[in-house]
Amino acid sequence: MKPVYLDYLSTTPVDPLVAEAMAECLTLEGTFGNPASRSHRYGWEAEMAVEAGRGQLAELIGADVREIVFTSGATEADNLAIKGVAEEALRKGGGPVHMVTSAMEHKAVLDSCQALEAQGVAVTYLKPDDRGLITAAAVGEALQPETCLVSIMHANNEIGTVNDVAAIARVAHEAGVPVHVDAAQSVGKIPVDVRALDIDLLSISAHKFYGPKGMGALYQRRRNKTPLRAQIHGGGHERGLRSGTLATHQIVGMGRAAEIAGAALETEAARLTAQRLRLLAALDDIPGLYLNGDPQQRLPGALNLSVADVEGEALLLSLPEFALSTGSACTSASLEPSHVLRALGLDDALAHSSLRISLGRFTTDAEVDLFSERLHEVIPRLRKDAA
């Protein structure tokens, strides 16, 4: 039997209704054409399907369809937003260029910023507070006259905490600085309204809300548009910001996933919050168990726990009937402690002993209870063996 899946922050399975919609775009009998081929019916139908998907995604985040730029995922969207803004600022010249981000961002943001540092861009990396949050006050203190962008994630991909990006945007905009938000983990899980949040740029990933891998988008506000320098050239697709033949089936899948997520947002969030609290309550009697990050201001189904006196990898190996992780899937090959937990102030021992537990659409109460029971069995045994 396959293990119980508790790694929904890493990726989500494609919803069966999404897979069905995608399959209809793959064969000769379906909508398989090139959306840019406007000389025949196959192309027209594909273009209509693409624009329908764009509309479904736009509706989920409260955007205009003309504000959605399709990408291969949130990683590419992050690169387009961050490098696009900074390189445009460098091109204009006139002095130094500075950016503000945080030390707990996804590697797609951190590595993009480090690449820009090699080009002479100065970057401030804010540390989270003891709740695992980046505050608007901290952002305000970091702003400089030459700051061209603030890039702060909405929900953290390891500990699940949710930043008040609306407050961060207010502070940045008062100084005339645009804001980019990596919303890969929040879109489709909690309400994300780009108008209410007052965001300039926002990155989205389909596979985080039961859509296909290899599909994402960047929201770029039309009003007071933040200039971007394209990162991929060749054909001028997506208003010149992202060249390449649009993947009709992927976009249809993302759109359908967005539609399903929007309809189920409130009920699914309530169910997952109840399951998260159920699990925490069941584990309350285990000594030396620490919740990383704010207990309330977090994604409905996300937990990150450090288990004192137990090595995280040993704990994973002792739970073969569950699929979960000790940190971000994007850095799982590294032996280094999580950069997020280090930024939070955890020592290496506790950082190495962390478990990232994420519940999702197909998680049952019985699976939550079984996981709790197994932790009660495994943790004391591992501590005894290590003594």
Q: Are residues 231 and 313 in the same domain?
A: no
Positions marked active-site? 330
Q: Are residues 250 and 271 in the same domain?
A: no
Query: What is the residue type of 109?
Result: V
Could you give the number of structural domains in the chain?
2
- For residue 170, how many other CB atoms are within 10 A of its CB? 16
Residue 326: alpha-carbon gap to chain centroid? 17
* pLDDT tens over the chain, length 387 residues: 899 999 999 999 999 999 999 999 999 999 999 999 999 999 999 999 999 999 999 999 999 999 999 999 999 999 999 999 999 999 888 789 999 999 999 999 999 999 999 999 999 999 999 999 999 999 999 999 999 999 999 999 999 999 999 999 999 999 999 999 999 999 999 999 999 999 999 999 999 999 999 999 999 999 989 999 999 999 889 988 999 999 999 999 999 999 999 999 999 999 999 999 999 999 999 999 999 999 999 999 999 999 999 988 899 999 999 999 886 445 545 567 788 999 888 888 888 899 999 999 999 999 999 999 999 999 999 998 877
b vs e for 122-145, b when ≥16 Cβ sit within 10 Å of the residue's Cβ? ebbbbebeebbbbbbebbbebbee
Q: Are residues 236 and 311 in the same domain?
A: no
Q: Rounded to whole angstroms, how far apart are CA atoms 252 and 183?
A: 20
Q: Which of 223, 238, 259 is the last residue of a domain?
A: 259
Q: Which of 224, 259, 294 is the last residue of a domain?
A: 259
Instruction: Name beta bridge partners: 220.
Output: 201
Q: Are residues 282 and 357 in the same domain?
A: yes
What interhelical angle do 74-92 and 107-117 show, nearest 10?
20
- pLDDT score recorded for residue 148: 97
Residue 36: alpha-carbon gap to chain centroid? 29
Q: Are residues 224 and 274 in the same domain?
A: no
Q: Are residues 113 and 53 in the same domain?
A: yes
Q: Are residues 299 and 254 in the same domain?
A: no
- What's the chain look like in SS3? CCCEECECCCCCCCCHHHHHHHHCCCCCCCCCCCCCCCCCHHHHHHHHHHHHHHHHHHHHHCCCHHHEEEECCHHHHHHHHHHHHHHHHHHHCCCCCEEEEECCCCHHHHHHHHHHHCCCCEEEEECCCCCCCCCHHHHHHHCCCCEEEEECCCECCCCCEECCHHHHHHHHHHCCCCEEEECCCCECCECCCHHHHCCCEEEEEHHHCCCCCCCEEEEECCCCCCCCCCCCCCCCCHHHCCCCCCCHHHHHHHHHHHHHHHHHHHHHHHHHHHHHHHHHHHCCCCCCEEECCCCCCECCCEEEEEECCCCHHHHHHCCCCEECECCCHHHCCCCCCCHHHHHCCCCHHHHHCEEEEECCCCCCHHHHHHHHHHHHHHHHHHHHHHC
Nearest Cα to Cα of residue 157 among 84, 75, 258, 222: 75
Q: Are residues 114 and 232 in the same domain?
A: yes
- pLDDT score recorded for residue 258: 98
Q: Are residues 278 and 244 in the same domain?
A: no
Instruction: Name beta bridge partners: 69.
Output: 218
Q: Are residues 142 and 29 in the same domain?
A: yes
Reading the block at residue 208, the tokens are 């985080």
- pLDDT score recorded for residue 154: 98
Do the beta carbons of residue 175 and residue 143 sit within 8 Å?
Answer: yes
Q: Are residues 232 and 280 in the same domain?
A: no
Q: Rounded to whole angstroms, how far apart are CA atoms 101 and 151?
A: 5
- pLDDT score recorded for residue 311: 87
Q: Which of 243, 259, 275 is the last residue of a domain?
A: 259
Do the beta carbons of residue 186 and residue 203 sit within 8 Å?
Answer: no
Q: What is the CATH number of the domain that holds 171?
A: 3.40.640.10
Nearest Cα to Cα of residue 255 among 300, 295, 296, 209: 209
- pLDDT score recorded for residue 327: 63
Q: Are residues 113 and 155 in the same domain?
A: yes
Tens of pLDDT, residue by residue over 67-106, are: 999 999 999 999 999 999 999 999 888 789 999 999 999 9
- pLDDT score recorded for residue 335: 61
- pLDDT score recorded for residue 328: 47
Q: Which domain holds residue 139?
A: 16-259
